[in-house]
Structure 1
Amino acid sequence: MELRGRTALITGSAKGLGKMTAITLAAMGCDIVLNYVNSEQEARLLSAEIAHQYGVRATAVQADIADAADVERLAQTAQAWSSSGSIDILINNAGPFIRERRLFSAYETADIARLLNGNLLGVMLLDHHLLPGMRGRQWGRIIHFGFGHAGEGRAWPHRAVYATAKTGLVSFTKTLAVEEAGNGITVHMICPGDIRGMNKERTIAEVAGEPDDESPSGRPGSGEDIARVIAFLCLPQSDYLTGNILDVTGGFDPIKTSIKAN
């Protein structure tokens, strides 16, 4: 188990891609700090399942990444729980998203603030809280979540606020990677394709035989597609890789850059 003795915090990990990532890292020997906002029952059940199946420690902490006070409490609680007193691996999966398509002019002020806080500021603050522990141990792995083709900074009509937050996170990812490379800390962004519903918690084998006409790869994406890339980047031997924006999309491009006049 390549990550035995490490502690990983995965935000938004009671369900979906975060859940699959937590299970994958636990299988590699990591102690796991799960995070949830409302899905307490799912988080508690997953924590017990991980501890029983993989023989690692696991806990679950409620916190909203869009709330600065919650972010600080999450960081303090996670570090206090860790056997080393610090978090070694931080997976910033959580981030609010509004699936309904709407023009920027139609957004409420509160929605704008929440999307920016949850997808950019909250991520930066959590990194900031946990960096001292990683620096002290001269080892760390930080993974941010984006969206397919986020690194290109293209227009994404009807997703203006979310896209702005994530493309801002692209620059922060690259900058933090350069600043912390000398401290044994690597920083990357994973950009999933359009993985929906229960496919977020399925394996590659489970989706392999299913057709997907929208995907150039011919099949839907799965949670394992994302989790296995994250696991590779977290390996000790992956220390020469940092500052990368990785599209894991099967070739799918979700961005439509033009709209009809309104």
Structure 2
Amino acid sequence: MNLVAGGDKKFGEMTVLVTGASRGIGAKIAERFASVGMNVVIHYGRSHEAANEVARRCMEQGAKVYTVSADIRSREEIERMHQKLEDHGLYPDILVNNAGIARYGLLSDVSEAEWDEVMDVNLKGLFLCTQVFMPYMISQKFGRIINVSSVWGISGASCEVVYSAAKGGVNAFSKALAKELAPSGVTVNAVAPGAVMTDMMKDFEAEELRQLEEEIPAGRLADPDEIASLVYFLALPESSYITGQIISPNGGWIT
């Protein structure tokens, strides 16, 4: 298959924007795209130093890298980010909506402010970024929108009702938008990982992690690189017939 898409642009010449890319899965996604020399835009909220470290690792692989800070809950800041990228000649062909936060605890203990924060970051931020950056993809008849969800958006999790609801919204958003954008050559998919060994697991005791691993048929947690590889695959020109899918790499934990 021809690796050219979006006019005469080769895959390695494209631009990818990864939100929440200063650590964890987002950082690994940025590094995976950097490995083919792609233009990589690393978005972060407040973790300036961490974002710069990810940028350094990406540049070591020969990628052109740009870091940008924005509060994805704000349309004004997303549009400002969009303008900054355009000023540098960067027009994302691939958008990875990775930024997200979790909230643990009984629903009875969740405040309205906490509900709003989880929904604003995980769902509203995804909506704003997609709405602002998808017109360019539509205009060139090629684009990839990949939303990082969670296995809990599929099955739900006790004591993570708010997070599960937000990620369930991400999944529905992905399915619906895929139908809208398919005629324009833009695919929309969600990657819904199970348990991944990232900073989000740092509060677990060793025994808790062992018990969790025993629940997973694969016998282990996922490595962030494995999630990044799936995101990368969905972005390839060869993946143009995959759209509207919620793909859950979870080691057989949830089927």
TM range (shorter): 0.7 to 0.9
The CA deviation string for residues 80-130 of structure 1, in whole angstroms up to 9 with x for no partner, is: 33x3x42100000101212x3222x32122111111111111101110001
Partner of 2:137: 134
- Aligned-partner SS, 1:219: coil
Q: 1:30/1:251 Cα in 2 relative to 1: closer, same or farther (>3 Å)?
A: same
Unaligned runs of 5+ in 1: 201-210, 255-262
Matched, 1:143 2:151: no
CA apart distance, 1:155: 4.7
CA apart distance, 1:14: 0.9
Partner of 2:207: none
Task: State how 1:1-262 maps to structure 2 within 5 Å.
Answer: 3-51=11-59, 53-81=60-88, 83=89, 85-98=90-103, 100-103=104-107, 105-148=108-151, 150-151=153-154, 154-197=155-198, 212-253=213-254
Q: Aligned partners of 1:185, 1:22: CA distance in 2, in Å?
A: 20
Partner of 2:206: none
Decide which moves more: 191-200 or 136-145.
191-200
CA apart distance, 1:3: 2.3
The CA deviation string for residues 236-256 of structure 1, in whole angstroms up to 9 with x for no partner, is: 1111111100001111249xx
Amino acid at match of 2:130: D
Q: Aligned partners of 2:125, 2:106: CA distance in 1, in Å?
A: 23
CA apart distance, 1:198: 5.9
- Aligned-partner SS, 2:192: strand
TM-score (norm. length: structure 2): 0.86
- Aligned-partner SS, 2:214: coil
Aligned-residue Cα RMSD (Å) equals 2.2
Is contact 1:79-1:87 (8 Å) kept?
Answer: no
The CA deviation string for residues 189-237 of structure 1, in whole angstroms up to 9 with x for no partner, is: 000111133699xxxxxxxxxx932321022210111011111111111
- Aligned-partner SS, 2:178: helix
Unaligned runs of 5+ in 2: 4-9, 202-211
CA apart distance, 1:149: 5.3
Number of equivalenced pairs: 237
Q: Aligned partners of 1:116, 1:35: CA distance in 2, in Å?
A: 19
Q: Aligned partners of 2:145, 2:215: CA distance in 1, in Å?
A: 31
CA apart distance, 1:61: 0.7
Q: Aligned partners of 1:68, 1:115: CA distance in 2, in Å?
A: 17
Is contact 1:147-1:192 (8 Å) kept?
Answer: yes
TM-score (norm. length: structure 1): 0.83
Q: Aligned partners of 1:155, 1:4: CA distance in 2, in Å?
A: 37
